[in-house]
Amino acid sequence: MLKIYLARHGQNVDNVNGVLNGHRDKPLTKKGIEQAHEVANKIKGNNLHFDFIYTSPLKRASKTAEIISDTINGSKPVEMIELIERDFGVMTGEKQSRIEELCAPDIIKAELITYFLNPKGAETFPDLVKRADELLLKVKNKHKDGNILLVTHGDFGKMIYAAYYNLHWKEVLELFHFGNSELLLLSPNSQAGEAHVFKILQHNH
């Protein structure tokens, strides 16, 4: 049986400054490095092992993957471009606080995050679900069983979850918060809604 674990990167510079990062490539903060070590130590403490670790090429994800791999003496993370965060289009680099001002009424207000739907140049959530379907097919074709770790990002990580469980993207945006350095499990034996393996104390959303 193939179990796919999803980790989100630790806090990075844009996160702490309330900036929409998308494909921007800022490094982890000191707190982000601590969060990555926290989830890595929880993985080790629960005797979880990964046969392969794949990571988004962006620094915030690849550094998180590296910390996890080093902590558990795991395989060297392999970059996979398909794991990159959503392209935020014209919203890249804008303040999170301006989402409603710039994008309403095409927004969804979840408990902790306001999501913009289709600003100019941005990938839409249906775009992300399609990319997630292609990613999951690639992973499942390559790995028939074992434990695989994918280190990715907030928006795209949720759409991987949506694609795996065949849930509508709108439902998933409101279903749970996928915080920095949190770990989800996607498995035939893990029901949708029971995905969190670890939650991490959050210092930003």
Residues paired with residue 152 on neighbouring β-strands, in sequence order: 8
Which tokens is 26 given? 């800022």
Alpha-carbon distance of 89 to 20, in angstroms, equals: 10
Strand order in the sheet with 52-55: 78-79, 52-55, 146-152, 2-8, 183-186, 196-198
Residue 168 annotated as catalytic: no
Instruction: Give me the catalytic one of 9, 94, 123, 182.
Output: 9
Question: Which residue shows structure tokens 């969190």?
Answer: 196
- Of 85, 94, 123, 182, the active-site residue reads 85
Burial class (CB in 10 A: 0-12, 13-18, 19+), 164: buried
85 is catalytic: yes
Q: Give Cα separations from 3 to 34, 83, 177, 181 (angstroms).
A: 26, 17, 21, 18
What residues act catalytically?
A: 9, 85
